Amino acid sequence: MLEKDRISYFYDGDVGNVYFGPNHPMKPHRLCMTHHLVLSYGLHKKMEIYRPHKAYPIELAQFHSADYVEFLHRITPDTQHLYASELTRYNLGEDCPVFDNLFEFCQIYTGGTLDAARRLNHKTCDIAINWAGGLHHAKKCEASGFCYINDLVLGILELLKYHARVLYIDIDVHHGDGVEEAFYFTDRVMTVSFHKYGDLFFPGTGDIKIIAKVIETYLPGAIVLQCGADSLARDRLGCFNLSIEGHAECVKFVKKFNIPLLVTGGGGYTKENVARCWAVETGVLLDTELPNEIPNNEYIEYFAPDYTLKVPNLNMDNLNSKTYLSSIKVQVMESLRSIQHAPGVQMQEVPPDFYIPDFDEDELDPDERVDQHTQDKQIHRDDEYYEGDNDNDHDDGAR
């Protein structure tokens, strides 16, 4: 009998409380909705649940420029009018607004991806889930496409400390350009993005330059799967027509390779469908099929009038003809034939797992010495987790 995968799941309720602003399509509230679906279906009982640490600025600067990280740390809605040139330089504005608790939001979702990568590295789990992560457009020195810190790049860098090769797969409707750009000149990371290209669709990159052949050729030690849900039918920004079942089938397919797997969220702008999708995919990763009828939970009214998981597709023609798909497949196979089979890695000193800056506590603002997030890292909160008296509490997180 095969052993069940050990699954670690990362969530902090504070990540869903930020507000990008009126009429902005990005709604982090979708993360709270996802989490409560996970709870209402009882999936939390089958996983180890952790509240992630807030990533330190020095951790973010392992990829991003120190000046950009420092600016994100410093800028607030009340002071942004003083920094017009910096806002332009770092691409903050309409798509990537400055809002309250922006930096803490970045710290939490990035901390989840870093913690997930570290647990995979130390083989304390087989699959790690951080639905808050997956912000794949952020660049080294600027924000892009609703993304400020690229947690995926930072998570992959962490995985590269223990794995010679990492495969990145992206099923968001938008091209994973920030991740591709970050690793463009190394053969230790392969990026494969399925997305809409053409018609001036954001970000305008990602032309053809799958997956079973990729893995067979590249032999990755770990896989990062970005599950952006804006490729679903009825998304506010996306224009694809994927069913939740079709989207989840991608997750099921990748899981079957039994390679250490880090799963994140990403885009997704019809928030009730995002929550449905990621709850179903949590079930897929747990080999658990969820009943179509959504159990009662704090956000049940968002799923009216049917209160079901399945969402019907739109009546749209599939413009991807068999001929077109075949031509793409041929080009991909030709590209794979030309790459080095399972490229090797030279021996080198592995950087430490965890960067904790040295602080002089006497110089810190007393109100900032131990913030509330740090104090309650190991404390069960009734609004986040059910059944806090279970037997599987862990030293490095809350259940």
137 flagged as catalytic: yes
Residue 76 in contact with residue 98, Cβ under 8 Å?
Answer: yes
Burial of residue 117, with CB atoms counted within 10 A of its CB: 0-12 exposed, 13-18 middle, 19 or more buried:
buried
* Beta strands 189-193 and 7-10, pairing class: unpaired
Residue 194 in contact with residue 138, Cβ under 8 Å?
Answer: no
CA-derived radius of gyration, the chain: 21
395 is in an annotated binding site: no
269 is in an annotated binding site: yes
Distance CA 258, CA 85 (A): 48
Distance CA 355, CA 59 (A): 6
* Active-site pick, 137, 163, 175, 247: 137
Distance CA 119, CA 292 (A): 32
Residue count of the chain: 399
230 is in an annotated binding site: yes
Structure tokens belonging to residue 344 = 């090797």
Distance CA 153, CA 163 (A): 15
Neighbouring C-beta atoms of residue 218, cutoff 10 Å: 20
Half-sphere exposure of 83 (CA within 13 A, CB side): 19
Q: Quick one: which of 11, 54, 8 has its CA closest to 356?
A: 54
172 is in an annotated binding site: yes
Binding-site residues sit at 95, 145, 172, 174, 230, 269
Binding-site residues for substrate sit at 95, 145, 269
Binding-site residues for a divalent metal cation sit at 172, 174, 230
Q: Which are the catalytic amino acids?
A: 137
